[in-house]
Structure 1
């Protein structure tokens, strides 16, 4: 058998051959000048070929002596093998009885991918399909069983039954099946689904169980937040003290958050609940509190309402700066004099307003600006930070009261002088009710042509400020001989600056003095003051006071 005109000999028909499957049962015409796929020789058609039927009856012009099936003795003829079959007509290109070209006697099947060339009857041909790796031989169209073509899709693999299937062991079933053609070609057999089935079940269980667990957790948290009691410690603490700073204007939730962060209460919600349940809960102020860890919310509220828990630095009204510096040093645990040195060196960088700067002959530029209040001062803080906080609070209060805007309406040159008037009223007044009258005394004496003092203030408090003392038994002779701008017995007008730190009531008294004509005052019991308009009335009160002292 020759293959594709390459000469005699036989070799397997391999699928990678470019003409593999092109012959089929329908045969191919060799183009003129090309080799025939059946005989390996070029074909010539000098005349229109004539066709005969399967009974050996040839049309005129057909040479029966050169019929290819008559070349071998003993080969069956078509009229013997196909006797009884009805004559059939074949298209152009059939048997020409020349022995040079013969078309196979079967019509081509377009769906047959295994069409092959005819083999001449006679000589024994090698079995090209005997090996296991070879493709099966083509089957004639009449003997084929209907089935899907080569383009038919592979049967879909059955999905594993996730919940157990029908109980068939897929491993045994696969072992029993013979290897298929696809497996012989090299495709790996389908592996068992048993392991994947178990994993799928496990994933489903985990996902479903995790979803239920998460839903239950969030449901429980929602119930606790909405309807359950807030987490809370029991008792009044475990004995470990902590210091907590509460900022100004802090609400219940903010306070509770700071206490929880310090370990005092277990939850902010519990503290807010206890704060609302206590009738005095709204009176908790800002500052530093000394509490204990793991306190019940109710006990924490009670302790914060008690003065025992307050550890703020309290600056009383009327304190001089020298006393404030000493208190700050003690609270910070720094050497004495540390805060005073910082004040002298850095006073311009502590937040003073512009109108408080550049005044001559001042004893302390910060005097009057360490506002009386409660401050959260603890060890570890810097003196600069504490002083800045005090100056900031004083400046805010002065702006709130209108110290800067109302100074000139009171006959003063600037707000600095108004602050000085307030400090004098604070120093000489003995009660909050005295401040308005005391402020009027200052304004009246400042009049340069007043008939009582002629422009002199003559306040003992100014002399005591210079001496850093608080004496009341001072002789007039001593007072008038001491030359100092702060000594109002020696110098006319206001001192160079404030002599203490006035509180809000003294500031309001300086802003809104009385207009009753007061020039003199005296404190009879150290708690209240009596005011007079003339020197004669004042002398009577002085004699009365001296007599009361002799009796005691």
Structure 2
């Protein structure tokens, strides 16, 4: 038998031969002194009698015979398939070895040794009874590299594929354990055991070392359970709420609500969604979506104006929308252009739920403390010092609104506008005595005209009639609006003779010149028209149909228009 376990017959290799069926194993060396097949050879020192070279290309394909030979016999053997690694010629172990017995050379036909044949006698097997994969100590030659597999710290010899068993790598044990959370329940008395008589506590045991499992505090487990239940419960609640709001019917109240009233303020620029959220927070509607849906279903739902609304709690979305589209329900006061103070006072009392006459009394008693400019209200004949100073615009009421606070706000707005227009400096340019007369002219223009073009011609009529050269009306303005103001009425048809005989500082049918004060609160159009009249030489005007105002320069033209107007009025009244 040879060193590879072959007998002198033709029997096949034994399956446990380390080289059996492993021609392609290149990952490890089979044993000391052997190299992977098909790769580069790197041989280690072996016993002289086993120093043989086997052709790499020939071995995997031919298993019938072998041709072991020494390096110095390579040429004598004349093996064409012998491949010698370049390192073999340089390394000392591959140099010619003296006094070595010639080894037989096998071929594919028998025991041809170049003239000699060996017969049945087989040499002793040096590997008999020895683990072929155990590490063999080899005697080295001087100058050769040390065998790294013979040292105490060497890696174990490689294993063939059929004997390899990969062991799972265990995680590295750390010297210091991380601190446990409070949920681990690591109390002082439960982290370790006593070390016998010393009384010292044992160190914490490592996992897999056979130590005691750590105890867990019941309280900590309870806390953990409560936390988990809380998270799941909260997530479920919010998830249910989200799904319900997205896909379910919007929550809504029924009916007109309770008797409890709340003031809800809607800011400027608020959309329907923001309005719905404000109403929900105030307890008016059950959900913002119910309000939005109701507003979308109402044709006037998008016309809701900002402001403060007195609303009942627990109203349906439709009821809330119906209230808010009604301008009369809105807690605002709108002073229109030309509106008289008496109407403003009534609106304030009504919106603030005050007794009738409350705001008018405050205006009369505290006029000087409401912010009037120094040039206003000096004439004792003035009926209302605040007339002409409650600037026309919208005023939103809040919970803190009072008659006095509203009056101050209105007076301030008027004073600011008049200062911005430069009323005080332009009075003399217009031939007027003081800035108050500018406001008075503007109030007359606003009461008689219909639009800005009318206002400019109206102001021209006033200025022309105030001239001392006016011999047609003898410097009388003769505006019906002044008579109605003096009377506290708004009549179109009245007795002209009675008007001309009514002695009142505001009645321009009786007095010459301007009234003692404004007869209303002029708007911006009337103010700018007063400061910039038409200059067309107009002296008369009349509205025949009640919509269109016609202006004339002569009295005769005016009389024709008056006759036409009177005839129209008779037909209208059935006369």
When normalised by structure 1's length, the TM-score is 0.54
1:309 is displaced (CA, Å) by 4.4
1:204 is displaced (CA, Å) by 7.0
Aligned position for 1:234: 252
Aligned position for 2:554: 534
Instruction: Note if contact 1:519-1:531 (Cα within 8 Å) is conserved in structure 2.
Output: yes
Q: Which moved more, 1:389-398 or 1:373-382?
A: 373-382
1:248-298 C-alpha deviation (Å, 9 max, x unpaired): 635337644542332224566886798799997664323343545445667
1:420 is displaced (CA, Å) by 1.1
**Is the partner of 2:216 in helix, strand or coil?**
helix
Aligned position for 2:356: 336
1:350 is matched with which residue: 370, 391, 399? 370
1:518 is matched with which residue: 538, 548, 563? 538
Aligned position for 2:53: none
1:245-256 → structure 2 map (5 Å cutoff)? 245-246=264-265, 249-252=268-271, 255-256=275-276
1:424 is displaced (CA, Å) by 0.4
Aligned position for 1:209: 228
Instruction: Note if contact 2:448-2:481 (Cα within 8 Å) is conserved in structure 1.
Output: yes
1:479 is displaced (CA, Å) by 4.3
Structure 2: distance between partners of 1:235 and 1:339: 38
1:315-373 C-alpha deviation (Å, 9 max, x unpaired): 44433223333343344443333222111111122233444353453111111123344
Aligned position for 1:198: 217
Instruction: Note if contact 1:317-1:502 (Cα within 8 Å) is conserved in structure 2.
Output: yes
Structure 1: distance between partners of 2:215 and 2:433: 95
Matched, 1:485 2:511: no
Instruction: Note if contact 2:262-2:313 (Cα within 8 Å) is conserved in structure 1.
Output: no
- Long gaps (5+) in structure 1: 1-155, 188-192
Matched, 1:501 2:521: yes
Matched, 1:447 2:486: no
Aligned position for 1:384: 404
Aligned position for 2:121: none
Aligned position for 1:436: 456
Aligned position for 2:150: none
1:304-319 → structure 2 map (5 Å cutoff)? 304-307=324-327, 309-310=329-330, 312-319=332-339
When normalised by structure 2's length, the TM-score is 0.52
Task: Tell me: CA distance 1:296–1:322, structure 2 relative to 1, closer, same or farther (3 Å).
Answer: closer
Task: Tell me: CA distance 1:531–1:268, structure 2 relative to 1, closer, same or farther (3 Å).
Answer: same
**Is the partner of 1:197 in helix, strand or coil?**
coil
Structure 1: distance between partners of 2:180 and 2:497: 118
Task: Tell me: CA distance 1:294–1:508, structure 2 relative to 1, closer, same or farther (3 Å).
Answer: farther
Structure 2: distance between partners of 1:418 and 1:160: 87
Structure 1: distance between partners of 2:355 and 2:182: 81
Structure 1: distance between partners of 2:274 and 2:426: 38
Task: Tell me: CA distance 1:196–1:397, structure 2 relative to 1, closer, same or farther (3 Å).
Answer: farther
**Is the partner of 1:356 in helix, strand or coil?**
coil
Task: Tell me: CA distance 1:212–1:259, structure 2 relative to 1, closer, same or farther (3 Å).
Answer: closer
1:423 is displaced (CA, Å) by 0.9
Instruction: Note if contact 1:237-1:293 (Cα within 8 Å) is conserved in structure 2.
Output: no
Instruction: Note if contact 1:246-1:287 (Cα within 8 Å) is conserved in structure 2.
Output: yes
Structure 1: distance between partners of 2:305 and 2:181: 71
Task: Tell me: CA distance 1:549–1:205, structure 2 relative to 1, closer, same or farther (3 Å).
Answer: closer
Structure 2: distance between partners of 1:230 and 1:514: 65
1:243-322 → structure 2 map (5 Å cutoff)? 244-246=263-265, 249-252=268-271, 255-256=275-276, 258-266=278-286, 283-294=303-314, 300-301=320-321, 303-307=323-327, 309-310=329-330, 312-322=332-342
The number of residue pairs the alignment matches comes to 379
1:459 is displaced (CA, Å) by 2.0
